[in-house]
Amino acid sequence: MLILYRERDLDEAYRIDCRARTKGNEPWIKREDFRNIYEALLDTYFTNSVEKKLEKKEQDVADYVIEQVNKALERTIDFEPEIK
């Protein structure tokens, strides 16, 4: 699935991830490596929101997905994207 996102959303999520890694005494990853994780998270949360049949406008769903991804990043740094 192709998911479009703004670079500033990626940057915000990357900063959240870096803070979480610092708190957990884990090494940071490169921003471009983080992109794959971010895209996998967006895909997962978007798919879940579609499955739940959220009755929101497109922009509301996009904002919801980004918000959920950022919250997930704040809670954990143990995410491995699925390799296809």
Q: What's residue 81's pLDDT? A: 52
Give pTM, 2 decimals.
0.69
Tell me the mean pLDDT per 10 residues along the chain, length 84: 84 93 91 93 81 61 80 70 50
Q: What's residue 78's pLDDT? A: 59
Interior/surface letters 12-25, b for 16+ CB within 10 angstroms, e for the rest? ebbebbbebeeeee
Residues in the chain: 84
Q: What's residue 55's pLDDT? A: 60
Q: What's residue 51's pLDDT? A: 63
By 3-state DSSP, what share of the chain in percent is helix, strand and coil, each rounded to 5?
Answer: 65, 0, 35
φ, ψ dihedrals at 11, nearest 5° = -60, -45
